[in-house]
Amino acid sequence: MKKLALHWQIILGMVLGVMVGLLMTNFEGGKEIIQDWVKPFGRIFIKCLKMIAIPLILAALIKGVSDLRDISKLSKMGGRTIFIYITTTVIAVSIGLLLVNMVNPGKSITESTRTEMVENYSGDTQKYKDTAKKQKDSGPLQALEDIVPDNIFAAATSNRNMLQIIFFAIFFGIGLILIPEEKGKTVKDFFDGFNEVILKMVDIIMLAAPYGVFALLAAIIVESPSVDLFKALGWYAFTVVLGLLLMIFVYIIIVLVFTKKKPNFFINGISPAQLLAFSTSSSAATLPVTMERVTEHLGVEEEVSSFVLPIGATINMDGTSLYQAVAAVFIAQAFGMNLEFSTQLGIIATATLASIGSAAVPGAGMVMLVGVLGYAGIPEAGLALIFAVDRPLDMCRTVVNVTGDATVSMVVAKSVGKLGEPKIKNWDDEYEAVK
């Protein structure tokens, strides 16, 4: 596998994982073998990526902010980043609503199928409803309050506290900018070196990506619900995937128009991160690879990527927002409800705002969806209708989330004159350097 490019290695690992998973489902005890002896390696791979997520964000953001050497640059870059992220999210939700109203996937759900799925997944539904209720009861400004950590060391113990880490890193970087350069040189040099070490750790971990992806996909296949449920939700899944593909097309157009980079350059550069996002369903776990690909292969200078991408992994959830719009209307259709146009416009705003600060981990979209359903008056028990296919769709929408982050980083870099030629042309060169 050493002679293959990284994305082909990952694809091969995915294909073999699916094949082995399907094969083992035909043997008694096959599911247990995969769960006990294969799945742990996938979990180890994800843990390795999550292990370096917070150190990477902390070092990269402090380095990125301090490299600006000017508060006005930070304000300019930050404003553009947030504006573009919100714009792409609104586009994503609008695409989702347009497609779900054209396809009407909810009409394909029969009463018997709905009853079966509600019974099978009622426990999981209640878990997400309880989590969303806690968020709702906490007050309208709780999300803003939660951004500021009361203890940075406590915040750094969980990947769910990404916004707190980002707040501290930006605050710390601003402090470095405001003090005399000679006094901050030692601290800045430390974080520069620290950042380089973390990036090299990413390269090493990625050598195991094909094997980690193999283990993850094999486990997903043997743990999937019955095939009948997937068939019943085929139109719903088709609508979501079609919307996600259209959103990736939108990203390609944005890159072409604003950066003048060809589609194959963009897709080839970001494809390993996309494939990893597909297998892990986590923007946070994929963040180290996304940063490496954008910086080394797409030509975005590090001071931009280290600022834009960590923020994007936290607040830019275009794929998740699109899925929420489709899921909300789909559930409403399945229950025989007709949502008014004004209600669907409200879904755009609710899904956009709900995506800000969402945990960049598998399953976070479910918690966010409860809020969208609550706004539209859609029965929350309908969450059970989409559990059967949520995992594979979660994998697909994470690909869009990561692609959106890369797109915005390129646009922002171009706007501030920080988009150049890639440092690494292909994986073979990088592999040889790591080896």
AA letter at 372: V
Q: CB of 413 within 8 A of CB of 328?
A: no
Q: Evaluate the CA torsion angle 202, 205, 208, 211 in order and state its sign.
A: negative
> What angle is formed at CA 174 by the lines to CA 168 and CA 178, rounded to 5 degrees?
145
> In this predicted model, which residue has the larger pLDDT, 359 or 308?
308
Quote the pLDDT of residue 424: 66
**19 has pLDDT over 80:** yes
Q: CB of 407 within 8 A of CB of 308?
A: no
pLDDT, averaged across the chain: 79
Quote the pLDDT of residue 5: 67
Paired strand residues for 354: none
d(CA 328, CA 344): 9
**Tens of pLDDT along 117-128?**
555 545 555 555
Q: In this predicted structure, which of 115-124, 225-234, 255-264 has the lowest mean pLDDT?
A: 115-124
Rounded average pLDDT over 330-338: 76
**432 has pLDDT over 90:** no
SS3 content of the chain, % helix, strand, coil (to 5): 85, 0, 15
DSSP state, residue 419 = B
Rounded average pLDDT over 416-425: 79
Nearest Cα residue to 57 out of 250, 272, 280, 314? 314
Return the SS3 of 300. strand
> In this predicted model, which residue has the larger pLDDT, 49 or 246?
246
**Tens of pLDDT along 283-312?**
877 888 999 899 999 999 988 888 888 888
**357 has pLDDT over 60:** no
**188 has pLDDT over 80:** yes
Cβ neighbours for 282, distance < 8 A, ≥ 6 positions apart: 46, 50, 360, 361, 362, 398
* Structural domains in the chain plus CATH codes: 6-434 (1.10.3860.10)
Q: CB of 430 within 8 A of CB of 203?
A: yes
Residue 18 phi/psi, 5° resolution?
-65, -45
Q: In this predicted structure, which of 6-15, 247-256, 425-434 has the lowest mean pLDDT?
A: 425-434
